[in-house]
Amino acid sequence: MSQLKKPISKDDHLQGGDVDAKLILVEYGDYQCPFCGRAYPQVKEAQDELGTDLCFVFRNFPLSTLHPDAENAAEAAEIAGAFGKFWEMHDMLFENQQALDTNSLVQYALALGLDTEKFAEELSRQAKYERVHQDFMSGMTSGVNGTPTFFINGKRYDGEWEHGALLRALRSMLE
């Protein structure tokens, strides 16, 4: 079983519990990946059920050769993060996977109340490319080769994640 090589840090996007939570779920994901789109509500369900016992961390792993808008979408989430709106953009991207072109990303930024001029400028110059690339490389060193890939408390989770299976696996680790 693979181990998470890059430890959770202050640079990660954390949601729910903190780094001392009983469960830490890390997802390496791609905003345009249909499987990640199907995993998104499964993660939300686990977060709702487990509350602060679960700390969720999302790391970018855009599979650009398969998903041409994935890199741009990941950078959009990171730019929104600089405005304090990472999770809002994260959710918007997964809830609108069919529209991840640049114009749509700018419209999402507008809907989130971001400075769209600055957002569009940063997106066009790939201001967050390095951040996305660092996430990607950390996934590679941890053995990630597809999306979504989950790690629970530092160990790769290769079990089922659909139809409540992820929540059941997380609950079993609490017992």
Backbone angles phi, psi at 24, to 5 degrees: -120, 115
- On whether the CB atoms of residues 86 and 51 are closer than 8 A, the answer is no
pTM for the predicted model, two decimal places? 0.96
**Domain spans of the chain?**
13-174
For residues 71 and 51, what is the distance between their CA atoms, to the nearest angstrom? 30
State both tokens at 117.
């001029």
pLDDT tens track for 80-132 = 999 999 999 999 999 999 999 999 999 999 999 999 999 999 999 999 999 99
Contact 2, 132 (CB under 8 A): no
- Distance (Å, rounded) from C-alpha 50 to C-alpha 80? 26
The stretches of 21-126 forming alpha helices (DSSP H) are: 34-50, 70-82, 86-95, 102-111, 116-124
Instruction: Give the architecture (CATH level 2) of 13-174.
Output: 3-Layer(aba) Sandwich (3.40)
